[in-house]
A and B are shown apart, each in its own frame.
Chain A
Amino acid sequence: DQQVKQNSPSLSVQEGRISILNCDYTNSMFDYFLWYKKYPAEGPTFLISISSIKDKNEDGRFTVFLNKSAKHLSLHIVPSQPGDSAVYFCAASLYGNKLVFGAGTILRVKS
């Protein structure tokens, strides 16, 4: 039973436009949500996080939105750049240091 779901395996966006990556979860007890970015042949790297008590967190071009009633979060990248092309994993934390990951979304930013 997947507790964290990324239903879009891939997304293609034009350079300069907005990229929106979505994530749904089932466990209302998750206390933190995180996004990781992964390039081929490298380990995932932390991108941005949000506490369950907030509904928005922004860091430069990256903004994460949390809708607890819908159990949904999204990552917005504005403007998208070719270097943003990677696999993006949504993750959720429960009571500490174990993360549950989604299956990932491949983002391709076309120049």
Chain B
Amino acid sequence: ETGVTQSPTHLIKTRGQQVTLRCSSQSGHNTVSWYQQALGQGPQFIFQYYREEENGRGNFPPRFSGLQFPNYSSELNVNALELDDSALYLCASSTPTSGNLEQYFGPGTRLTVT
């Protein structure tokens, strides 16, 4: 167990709806990164949050947005859901400011869009 938690575990949404996924980072970690993993693929970087600010973004449209809170937990919001958004959403926590670049993943949220 990494100490990173995510909720909910599973979610089913309809195309066009909005969804919010949540992540609590490992104790002592100040940075949260979000990844999308489609079936049979490696995780794809969505964005990273550090000190409540977005600190880098991958090739995802603006309808993917996020937040980080003072306790370092984070949310991923996806608007106007599309069928292709069906995937495993992973958050990873880390403390790159300490020089340690290792990222530890939570259990993930499985999102199905119908």
Partners in one complex: no
A residues lining the B interface (CB < 8 Å): none
